[in-house]
Amino acid sequence: MEVINLICKDEPGVLRDVSGTVAKHNGNIKYVQLFIIERGTHKGNASIYMEIDVEEVATLISDLNSLDSVLEVETTPSFRDIYGSRVIIVGGGAQVAQVAMGAINEADRHNIRGERISIDTIPLVGEDSLADSVAAVSRLPRAEILILAGSLMGGRITKEVEKLRDAGIPVISLNMAGSVPDAADLVVTDPIQAGTFAVMHVAKTAEFDLKRVKGRRF
């Protein structure tokens, strides 16, 4: 897998030209991320990050550099190599902070041993906002597990939790009112412990397996 980051002009047809060049080299694009740079030297230009299966990366880079719309090409480590697996924490601010404390402390122990586990949090209120955030987890690259931290969750949130589990992403819920705990893989009363459990499930250097305690309440 080769990882390439391009700085390009913000104009129509750039992604077509770049992907077409990759195709000419029989490259298979596994992941792509594009955004407009909002600050710094390249402000107003586009950044394109690509993970590609390709044999002749040096020739590909040369051809990409020859495109009029491409300003800069470099090879970089992948996001997985840098940030690793992602633990997502969603819910009320106070509960999210406590879960994050447990998750970050546990991740630090494993990352010191060479793993890469990152913790992503967002405090939200309202059924629709929370349901939309749960639904979005399945679209996040490298998301391995979701923790729902709050005092009351149900309705649309529960439906999205069920869909997320069907997509293969496990869900830990704090012990709260509503129907979400009944839909989660694991229910934990202590928020710090919930964060610890989530990271232990993701970590390769831990012995914990969420499947072995699935449906339990702690």
Same fold yes or no, 2-76 and 81-213 = no
Residue spans of beta strands (DSSP E) within 37-189:
46-53, 70-75, 85-91, 117-123, 143-149, 171-174, 186-188
Closest CA to 70 of 122, 127, 21, 2: 21
The answer to whether the CB of 185 falls within 8 A of the CB of 213 is no
Separation between Cα atoms, residue 119 and residue 107, nearest integer Å: 8
The answer to whether the CB of 49 falls within 8 A of the CB of 73 is no
Per the CATH hierarchy, to which homologous superfamily does domain 2-76 belong? ACT domain (3.30.70.260)
Separation between Cα atoms, residue 174 and residue 91, nearest integer Å: 10
Question: So what's the pLDDT on residue 177?
Answer: 92
Identify the helix (H) or strand (E) that includes residue 31: strand 28-36
Identify the helix (H) or strand (E) that includes residue 167: none
Span 124-137, pLDDT tens digits: 989 999 999 999 99
Return the domain boundaries, the chain: 2-76, 81-213
Question: So what's the pLDDT on residue 212?
Answer: 67
The conformational region for residue 178 under phi > 0 = left, psi -120 to 50 = alpha, else beta, is left
Residues of the chain with pLDDT under 50: none
Question: So what's the pLDDT on residue 208?
Answer: 72
Question: So what's the pLDDT on residue 217?
Answer: 72
What pTM, to 2 d.p., does this model score?
Answer: 0.86
- Residue-level length of the chain: 218
81-213 under CATH 3.40.50.10550, yes or no:
yes
Beta bridge partners of 188: 174
